[in-house]
Structure 1
Amino acid sequence: MNKHTIEQASTPTKTKPGFWSHFAISLTIVSGMLAANFSAKAAESFSVEVIGSGKPVLMIPGLMSDARVWRPTAEALSGKYQLHLISIAGFAGKPAIDGDLLPRVQQQLLQYIDQQQLQKPAVVGHSLGAFMAFSLASTAPDTIGTVVAVDGLPYLAPVFTRSNDTTVAMMQGQAGYLRQQYQQMSTEQLTAMTAQGLFIQATSQAHQQQVLEMAAASDAKAAGQAVYELLTTDLRSQVHNIKSKVLLIGASGAMANETDRSAAQALYQQQIATIANATLEFHPQARHFIMLDQPDWLTAQIATALKD
């Protein structure tokens, strides 16, 4: 997730700044073409890179990032798994599409799974990609296998408000305002906004620069549409449909104190409370792009989750 917070991108609201920004400052998707027999036209909302062999695993990046963030992790897993690295339209240089974004990505991912005859693929998603993993698994519980959600939730808005009592109705006006703001941004403005929150995204300057470059190559209108959809789509009432195992991983390295860390863990836990087989893990040093900050630890967590 390379991005901008509600606080940065909008007029003052009831939302509160702080460590919650680390989640919002994120989310990611991208665009493209396809793999194997899947037609480019059918998959205009994403592209696919396939590496390795074995049990299928979809890997979905977050807002304004692409498959590059997952490639090292995928390479580490490629001896036992077939990794399908997704890049979503409009992000990190991928051509944007008009209209709804995330609903189309979900629909076309399910078509891709069917056409490629993937048997209960696991879904590993970061930020926006984690939201997509929850959406896929709750919409098609008999189709999706293990879910690993990396610093992403069934509903984004509570990250800003610090309350799981937040509803879509409360966020509708602000979501529309944010979408309009993004649509008016130049590449320079989008890049500058991203730069303000880089310390939340990753620890090293090299990784921060990687995040910034992906954002700079993204389409502002697509980013705004994604943010709007994330703030106006609440999956909490349907994640109980998920039948597979779920591992939710959080990052607390950018949080200022133990009070913030405890509050974040409680909020994350509440969002997965209705899922029958869900586990929560936090890394105390990692920042939002956990795969960049703590690659070995995250790869081990994913590998363990995928064993069953």
Structure 2
Amino acid sequence: MMIVDALPFYTLMIDPAATTETAARQATAMRDWLLVQSPEQIKEFQKTSITRLAKTKAVRPALVTAGINSDRKTVADAVYELMTTDLRPELARIKAPIEIVYAYDALFGVPAARVDAMYRQAYASAPDVHFTRIDDSFHFVMLDQPERFSSAVELFLNH
């Protein structure tokens, strides 16, 4: 199983001590906020979000357009579920090898070692997990570093 730039509990990125209970309030607020934004506000939100998710400027317009054209209720509900679902207790049950590919860039303002530790701690209960950090990339590693991402996928599939 390959997981690309995702934690088993998303809200750990916001609050390292988060629980599903503490995340619910933030998740509800985010869901409700997304649902009441005007089309102009959503467009600005998408532009701002994608700037933090894709380092490569050339790919940003298509991502912004996709976000704007997505069904708002579906997105809001998905964000809520993402923020309140903690899959860490399930990791020990996974029998297949897990490859975690994740992004890092100094522009995050966080030391690489701290990002490494966050991923390793979040997946600590997985019995067979390996990590590949792709530097000079934001969340969309496949768009920011396509060659390195392809190499990581090929290495994983041939392993």
TM-score bracket for the superposition, by shorter chain length: over 0.9
Q: Are 1:149 and 2:19 an aligned pair? A: no
1:186 to 1:218, Cα distance in 2 relative to 1, 3 A: farther
Q: Distance in 2 between matches of 1:222 and 1:205?
A: 27
User: Could you tell me which residue of structure 2 aligns to residue 207 of structure 1?
Assistant: 59
User: Could you tell me which residue of structure 2 aligns to residue 73 of structure 1?
Assistant: none
Which amino acid in structure 2 is aligned with residue 149 of structure 1? I
Quote how far apart the aligned CAs of 1:188 are.
Answer: 2.4
Partners of 1:151 and 1:288 within 8 A in 2: yes
Q: Distance in 2 between matches of 1:209 and 1:255?
A: 21
Q: Give secondary structure in 2 for the equivalent of 1:197.
A: helix
- TM-score, reference length from structure 2: 0.92
Q: Distance in 1 between matches of 2:49 and 2:32?
A: 21
Quote how far apart the aligned CAs of 1:169 are.
Answer: 0.8
User: Could you tell me which residue of structure 1 aligns to residue 109 of structure 2?
Assistant: 256
Question: Which one has the largest radius of gyration?
Answer: 1
Partners of 1:190 and 1:220 within 8 A in 2: no
Quote how far apart the aligned CAs of 1:302 are.
Answer: 0.7
User: Could you tell me which residue of structure 2 aligns to residue 96 of structure 1?
Assistant: none
1:185 to 1:221, Cα distance in 2 relative to 1, 3 A: farther
Q: Give secondary structure in 1 for the equivalent of 2:45.
A: helix
Which amino acid in structure 2 is aligned with residue 274 of structure 1? S
Pairing 1:141-180 to 2, within 5 Å after superposition: 147-161=1-15, 163=16, 165-180=17-32
Pairing 1:47-126 to 2, within 5 Å after superposition: none
Which structure dedicates a bigger proportion of its chain to helix?
2
User: Could you tell me which residue of structure 2 aligns to residue 299 of structure 1?
Assistant: 150
Quote how far apart the aligned CAs of 1:203 are.
Answer: 2.2
User: Could you tell me which residue of structure 2 aligns to residue 192 of structure 1?
Assistant: 44
Which amino acid in structure 2 is aligned with residue 298 of structure 1? F
What per-residue deviation string (whole Å, max 9, x for no partner) do you get for residues 150-170 of structure 1? 101110001011x1x310111
Quote how far apart the aligned CAs of 1:198 are.
Answer: 2.8
Of residues 271, 274, 284, the one that matches 2:122 is 271
Partners of 2:132 and 2:152 within 8 A in 1: no
Q: Distance in 2 between matches of 1:189 and 1:221?
A: 15
Of residues 124, 137, 142, the one that matches 1:286 is 137
Percent of paired sites with the same residue: 26
Quote how far apart the aligned CAs of 1:193 are.
Answer: 0.5
Partners of 1:286 and 1:294 within 8 A in 2: yes
Quote how far apart the aligned CAs of 1:301 are.
Answer: 0.5
Pairing 1:7-22 to 2, within 5 Å after superposition: none
Which amino acid in structure 1 is aligned with residue 12 of structure 2? P
Q: Are 1:241 and 2:90 an aligned pair? A: no
Quote how far apart the aligned CAs of 1:243 are.
Answer: 0.5
Q: Distance in 2 between matches of 1:152 and 1:302?
A: 16
Q: Distance in 2 between matches of 1:268 and 1:300?
A: 20
Which amino acid in structure 2 is aligned with residue 279 of structure 1? H
For structure 1, list consecutive stretches of 5 or more residues without a partner in the other structure. Answer: 1-146
Quote how far apart the aligned CAs of 1:296 are.
Answer: 1.1
User: Could you tell me which residue of structure 2 aligns to residue 222 of structure 1?
Assistant: 74
For structure 2, list consecutive stretches of 5 or more residues without a partner in the other structure. Answer: none
Partners of 2:88 and 2:122 within 8 A in 1: yes
State how many pairs are aligned.
158
What per-residue deviation string (whole Å, max 9, x for no partner) do you get for residues 31-85 of structure 1? xxxxxxxxxxxxxxxxxxxxxxxxxxxxxxxxxxxxxxxxxxxxxxxxxxxxxxx
Q: Give secondary structure in 1 for the equivalent of 2:81.
A: helix
